[in-house]
């Protein structure tokens, strides 16, 4: 199987993740159950063993980093994150035998191998330990661990964790209808509110300008502009309706952003390009 591309030598986190990914790729590549030449694996969220690792969310961050690195191997297919998250709770219910629990989750996901692991604090470093489990037998195929500098992992955690809230979503929609929905990740609703608000605003401005023009012409007191009073009133009435529509869209957008929003922390590896590189595009998780 093809190996992930070599990591740049200047970043210890990149080097460590690259070494873990390489060992896992070699192990997975040695299995004899490839479908159409690909190995399907599932990278589960890693356990954070101690309080410091848990506070920094290093379990999820480490598994995301490793998953993004493995994605560079063209012979490996990873289970979609949405499907994986839906079955992680199944593993939590089988804590008595983690390897067999991971294997059962992997089988449900159609994966031939499952990667699970942990992160713990050891002296001035964090140690990331990973294991590859065969989903057919529950046997651990390989285990590997890497030390990562504490300062680098702390900085990475601060960079990639985005804190989102219902209040933040509502505040954004209060500033601009649709922004809160985009903040929540609901692009379709966000664009809809933006389009409605923009269209009504443009219509209100246009009607107001036309109304003022008609009123100015009426005030010239010429015989040929007497009818412009009715035109001005019609334009101004239309402006008022559109302003009312603007208010309604604004209010509904704010309420909708709050109701559909979540109080959560999201991992976005794209916020740390020096670590994630091109492999991180589109990877995120919420917890």
**Widest Cα–Cα separation across the chain:** 96
Distance from the Cα of residue 188 to its chain's centroid: 16
At 90, the pLDDT band (50, 70, 90 cuts) reads low
Question: Given 3-state DSSP classes, what are the helix, strand and coil percentages for the chain, each rounded to the nearest 5?
Answer: 60, 20, 25
pLDDT for the residue 31: 62
**Which of 22 and 273 is assigned the larger pLDDT?**
22
**Helical pair 98-108 and 81-92, crossing angle rounded to 10 deg:** 140
Q: pTM of this prediction?
A: 0.61
At 172, the pLDDT band (50, 70, 90 cuts) reads very high
**Which of 139 and 36 is assigned the larger pLDDT?**
139
Q: How far apart are alpha carbons 213 and 230 in whole angstroms? A: 12
Token pair of 68, please? 């993004």
Q: What is the pLDDT of residues 8-19, one digit of tens each?
A: 455 888 889 999
Per-residue CA distances from 104 to 21, 65, 91, 113, 235 (Å): 23, 24, 8, 10, 67
Q: What is the pLDDT of residues 184-217, one digit of tens each?
A: 989 999 999 999 999 999 999 999 999 999 999 9
Quote the CATH superfamily of domain 12-160. ABC-type transport auxiliary lipoprotein component (3.40.50.10610)
Whats the size of the chain, residue-wise? 287
At 89, the pLDDT band (50, 70, 90 cuts) reads low
Token pair of 254, please? 């704010």
Start-to-end C-alpha separation, the chain: 33
Question: Which residues, other chains included, contact 5 with Cβ-Cβ below 8 Å and sequence gap of 6+?
Answer: 72
**Which of 118 and 265 is assigned the larger pLDDT?**
118
């Amino acid at each position: 199987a093809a190996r992930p591309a070599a990591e740049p030598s200047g970043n210890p986190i990149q080097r460590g993740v690259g070494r873990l990914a390489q060992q896992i790729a070699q192990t997975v590549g040695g299995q004899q159950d490839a479908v159409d030449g690909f190995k399907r694996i599932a990278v589960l969220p890693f356990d954070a063993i101690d309080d410091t690792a848990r506070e920094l969310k290093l379990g999820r961050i480490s598994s995301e980093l490793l998953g993004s690195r493995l994605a560079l191997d063209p012979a490996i297919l990873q289970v979609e994150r949405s499907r994986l998250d839906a079955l992680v709770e199944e593993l939590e219910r089988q804590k008595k035998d983690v390897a067999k629990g991971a294997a059962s989750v992997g089988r449900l996901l159609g994966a031939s191998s499952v990667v699970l692991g942990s992160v713990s604090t050891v002296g001035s470093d964090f140690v990331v330990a990973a294991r590859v489990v065969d989903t057919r037998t529950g046997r651990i195929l390989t285990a590997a661990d890497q030390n990562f500098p504490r300062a680098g992992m702390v900085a990475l955690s601060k960079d990639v964790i985005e804190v989102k809230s219902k209040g933040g979503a509502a505040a954004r929609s209060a500033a601009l209808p649709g922004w809160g929905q985009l903040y929540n990740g609901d692009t379709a609703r966000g664009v809809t509110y933006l389009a409605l608000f923009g269209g009504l605003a443009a219509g209100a401005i246009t009607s107001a300008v036309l109304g003022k023009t008609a009123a100015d012409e009426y005030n010239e007191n010429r015989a040929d502009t007497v009818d412009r009073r009715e035109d001005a009133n019609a334009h101004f009435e239309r402006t008022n309706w559109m302003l009312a529509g603007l208010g309604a869209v604004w209010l509904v957008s704010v309420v909708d952003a709050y109701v559909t929003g979540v109080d959560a922390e999201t991992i976005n590896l794209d916020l740390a390009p020096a670590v994630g590189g091109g492999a991180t595009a589109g990877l995120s998780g919420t917890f």
